[in-house]
Amino acid sequence: MASAIEKEVNPHFEDFLFDWRCKTQLLVGGYGSSKSYHVALKILLKLLQEKRTALVVREVYDTHRDSTFSLFCEIIEDLGLGGKIKTSSSPMTVRFPNGSKIIFRGMDKPEKLKSINNISLIWLEECSEIKYAGFKELLGRLRHPTLDLFMILSTNPVSKDNWVYTHFFIDEENERTVLDDERLYKERTIIQDEVYYHHSVADDNLFLPQSYIDQLEEMKDYDPDLHRIARYGKFGVNGKLVLPQLEEWDHEDVMRDINSMRKPLFKNGMDFGFSESSNAVSRMCVDTEKEWLYVWDEYYTKGKTDPEIAADLEAKGLRKTLMKGDNAEAKTIFYLQQKGFRILPCYKLTRIENTKKMKRFKKIIISRNCPNHIRELKPLTIKIDPRTGKEIPGEFNIDPHTFSAMWYGLDDYEVANVKGYNAKRK
């Protein structure tokens, strides 16, 4: 039946429609690029050829009705197959004459996934909205005794701290690189480590009116982040940066500046963690005349006991270095004091007060010898309340342990504010 179908498609997706070489296929693109349309068409053609059960997943089940389910219905009618392929809206299903079927589920109703068997093809639409744990659970649901298995993921790119980016592209925290996303934007289609990557933008959709593309271009004047995503389909930093004055420098340049200061002020802070959170030490120097802050050294680890941390700090020569630590970790601070470390609890400033202080530095310069500070702080953005769309003061897109360490180390230093107060040491 599939061989008798004629359908005009966008040239950029022609090869994708019939390429089943890779089990995992990731489509990343801007608004209006037609990626979802061609994924749905690809699945329909496959299920016409082979008897399969396909599972289509979104984070919220009810969003299928006006997106994926509606798209399948539209394509079926467009192909003139409405009399052969049956659709049902309650529950949402698509059934084929050869016994193939498409079922729809949402991660907001996980109990509905437990009864599914013999799924050989899964499509995760808007996969960046699905939690990483959900993605891994769905991989376990993908099984069939005889058929090849396929997982198709489609999404508009979001922040680089989203699991889609860290899993399929670059995970800086774990020093893991699968594919440089800039290479994908240039080459458009790549097979890397048995994953099929496909990138698309609105210009690839020849059926779009120019007025739609013009609307996407207008976004650059009022929302640059959304413009990057919608118009060019690129990952990046989403939201308002917490530290827009941050710069990363070569270590030699950082130390040259520090060594030439007339009045350098050295500060050291430590944040504590264990399995889920990290231990971080931030070694800083303040140029009290310029109000520039330099981060010149760091310690960053996870999953270590207090004795192991003490041994690490000893090895870094920090036993006699005055540090300020999280006042909520009195037990760990006391342990380190007993071992001879000069560490004190910090004052109880709020997250909002600490953040305002950091934003008053005219420049924050981080040595490239401090990759964890750069990784956490350079893309750090203010968290947005999804219900109201408003910023949540003192809350961020990640839990930045290095930022906390900096707060603690600088808790007794006052940065000149915009009203002109002189910086001072307490």
Report d(CA 231, CA 363) in Å as an integer.
32
Alpha-carbon distance of 155 to 30, in angstroms, equals 9
What percent of the chain has pLDDT above 90? 65
d(CA 25, CA 196): 5
Q: CA 16, CA 349: separation in Å to the nearest integer?
A: 55
Look over the chain and give the mean of its residue pLDDT values, rounded to a whole number.
89
pLDDT digits (tens, 9 = 90+) for 3-33: 456 778 899 999 999 999 999 999 999 999 9
Which residue's structure tokens are 């910086």?
Answer: 423
Convert the pLDDT of each residue in 273-298 to its tens digit.
Answer: 866 678 999 999 999 999 999 999 99
Average pLDDT (127-155) is 93
Q: What pLDDT, on a 0 to 100 scale, did the predictor assign at position 416?
A: 62
**Greater pLDDT, 113 or 36:** 36
Task: Let me know if 28 is exposed, middle or buried by CB neighbors in 10 A (0-12, 13-18, 19+).
Answer: buried
Question: Which domains, from first to last, does the chain contain?
Answer: 2-232 (3.40.50.300), 246-425 (3.30.420.280)
* Mean of pLDDT values over 350-356: 86
Q: Residue 164, exposed/middle/buried by CB under 10 A (0-12, 13-18, 19+)? A: buried
Of 88 and 222, more confident: 88
For residue 236, what are the β-bridge partners?
Answer: 159
Q: What is the CA radius of gyration of the chain?
A: 26
For range 180-186, the mean pLDDT: 95
Report the b/e string of 197-235 with b at 16+ CB within 10 A. Answer: bbbbbbebbeebeeeebeebeebeeeeebebbbbbbbbb
Q: What is the pLDDT of residue 418?
A: 42
Backbone φ and ψ for 236, nearest 5 degrees, come out as 175, -155
Q: How far apart are the C-alpha atoms of 327 and 334, rounded to whole Å?
A: 11
Asked if residues 254 and 365 have their Cβ atoms less than 8 Å apart, the reply is yes
Reported as a single tens digit per residue, the pLDDT across 406-420 is 999 998 888 765 433
| C-alpha span between 94 and 84 (Å, rounded) | 11
